[in-house]
Amino acid sequence: MTAVGTGRFGAVLNRIEKETAELRERGCPADYIPGLAGADIRRFGMAVAEPDGTVYGVGDWRTPFSTQSITKVFALALALSLEGEQIWRNLGREPSGNPFNSLVQLEYENGVPRNPFINAGALVVTDRLQSLTGDAAGQVRDLLRAESGNPAIDFVPEIAASEAAHGDRNAALAHFMASYGTIANPVPGLLAAYFRQCSIEASCADLALGASFLARRGVREDGSALLTPSQAKQVNAVMLTCGTYDAAGEFAYRVGLPGKSGVGGGIIAVVPGVCTLCVWSPGLDRRGNSVAGVSALDRFTTLTGLSVF
């Protein structure tokens, strides 16, 4: 798709698309999920959604991609909206400083994950959502559909199956936590729900709109409240400190915004009260964050002067 950078930040988006061109040769697609390994690292899209629902972008901003860990933000928001502080019973809020699928810290910390954005923590959130709603993945998909206005957003069964077939590490995390009583649902069903959730495909436009409640102090597209302003602040804070795993410090330093990445190459970021951003480019660095995506967000906050700092 050609650049159509219109709107308040249109010129900035056009400039970022040009300036990040050479980075779209770097990084590798996620290779541990075979269904993602063939992604073309030259793809790039970036969208901005303003709080009134205006959305625009450049490059492949309307192309659906595998959202993966970005869904962890929506799952956390839903769980918080349903049970408030109870969600933190078996879940921390500290950066892990470890890779997103690491096992070691879990044993030292008695089966309680450091935060909701590493895989172990996301499994705890999906477990709670599963208990509370009976269909954790469906709830995440439906929230995204409603907030983006795109009813076509859906799971990709081949990606979920590909991940399940290579899901030994997530299975190990889940069984390990089950042994501590951290999760309540049977592990096979919980893993299936988690893989379905991660397999949701959506575009930069969908995700920027979908996460706009975080820029609107918890208010949904229809004017109702998903989260209280305080809960929206909390989700943004956990994104800032934990949303990019063991690179969260570097991301905060470079971008200065709450952000959440996924191994599909997408990253969402929030400028509270101003806009929500989503960037996608599948070439990942060694910590699982999009190389061109982090740079694009870095350029955005540098060029506009907009950050939470």
Question: Contact residues for ligand DON (CB under 6 A)?
Answer: 68-69, 100-101, 119, 163, 170, 198, 261-263, 288
Contacts 24+ apart (CB under 8 A), 92-98: 92/121, 93/238, 93/241, 93/242, 94/241, 94/242, 95/241, 95/242, 95/246, 95/248, 95/249, 96/242, 96/245, 96/246, 97/246, 98/245, 98/246
Q: Which is nearer to ligand DON, 90 or 119 (CB)?
A: 119
In angstroms, what is the C-alpha Rg of the chain? 18
Question: What minimum distance in Å lies between the beta carbon of 227 and ligand DON?
Answer: 23
Q: Where are the alpha helices (DSSP H) in the chain?
A: 10-19, 71-83, 104-108, 119-133, 136-148, 157-165, 168-180, 187-198, 204-210, 229-242, 248-254, 291-304
Please report, for residues 169, 210, 265, the alpha-carbon distance to residue 6 in angstroms, rounded to integers and kept in the order given. 43, 20, 24
Q: Which is nearer to ligand DON, 101 or 105 (CB)?
A: 101
Question: What minimum distance in Å lies between the beta carbon of 208 and ligand DON?
Answer: 18
Question: What minimum distance in Å lies between the beta carbon of 36 and ligand DON?
Answer: 9
Output the six-digit token pair for 16.
Answer: 């970022």
Q: Which residue is nearest to ligand DON (CB)?
A: 69
| Cβ-contact 33, 162 below 8 angstroms | yes
Q: Which is nearer to ligand DON, 23 or 191 (CB)?
A: 191
Alpha-carbon span 190 to 161, nearest angstrom? 14
Alpha-carbon span 263 to 66, nearest angstrom? 8
- DSSP assignment string, 225-244: BSS-HHHHHHHHHHHHHHTT
Question: What minimum distance in Å lies between the beta carbon of 159 and ligand DON?
Answer: 9
Question: 13 phi and psi, to 5 degrees?
Answer: -65, -45
Question: What minimum distance in Å lies between the beta carbon of 56 and ligand DON?
Answer: 26
Q: Which is nearer to ligand DON, 159 or 235 (CB)?
A: 159
Question: What minimum distance in Å lies between the beta carbon of 112 and ligand DON?
Answer: 19
Output the six-digit token pair for 177.
Answer: 């936590």
Q: Which is nearer to ligand DON, 193 or 205 (CB)?
A: 193
Q: Which is nearer to ligand DON, 45 or 262 (CB)?
A: 262
Question: What minimum distance in Å lies between the beta carbon of 33 and ligand DON?
Answer: 6
Q: Which is nearer to ligand DON, 100 or 155 (CB)?
A: 100
